[in-house]
Copies of this chain bind each other. A is one copy, B any other.
């Protein structure tokens, strides 16, 4: 039997946002690998082994998937959101690069609804024009790179979506982000804090950049900054399709 690895996006939390492609892959799997809360979303069944691991062991998890597949297992690596956006897909390819004996492994990436697009949909259409996605975690890149990207994105008048804005280990990162954005953008710029998107306890909070505080974000929050044309209409926030 030939093994494979499918790196699958479970979407932001609501099962109605899981694609049939992902559901089918899970149904065919012998093994599920992933971070504890994502593996917890998979229903146990006979013949399916669940391997739940803690966060920050992405490369170990990826290598484990490749090794199981080389022994004939059908492995689904579960990510939240989309696996290609600040999630497990790059980690698996990093593991392949470090362990070239797995280069011929049958690896598929199954896209999912990434948090920023679910958040944008809940708010209206704040990403309806050109935009950037930026991971604010400085675990894997220095703050200088983040700051430079924020400035370039602001000067290009991109809307921006921020992943991982804040954690206990980085209490000041998002404060610095807001400081940079306030230097580059006008105080009336709209910013939306979307927490627990698509889940029962989802909250949305849109304020101006002048009103924004670091406490409005945590690690369950995706933050969307509009571009200079983003506006409110009724209870919605949207960015027009045109630019001048």
A residues engaging B (CB < 8 A)? 11, 14-21, 24, 58, 82-86, 89-94, 96-97, 103-104, 107-114, 117-118, 120-122, 124-135, 140-142, 145, 148-149, 151-153, 155-158, 231, 233-234, 236, 238-244
A28 CB to nearest B CB, Å: 13
Which residues of B are found within 8 Å of A130, using beta-carbon distances? 132-135, 149
Which residues of B are found within 8 Å of A128, using beta-carbon distances? 84-86, 89-90, 93
Given the known interface contacts A152-B156, A244-B142, the answer about A125 and B233 at a Cβ–Cβ threshold of 8 Å is no
A136 CB to nearest B CB, Å: 10
Given the known interface contacts A84-B128, A109-B121, the answer about A93 and B233 at a Cβ–Cβ threshold of 8 Å is yes
A52 CB to nearest B CB, Å: 21
Which residues of B are found within 8 Å of A132, using beta-carbon distances? 130-133, 153, 156, 158
B121 x A83 contact (CB < 8 A): yes
Given the known interface contacts A97-B233, A107-B236, A149-B157, the answer about A90 and B121 at a Cβ–Cβ threshold of 8 Å is no
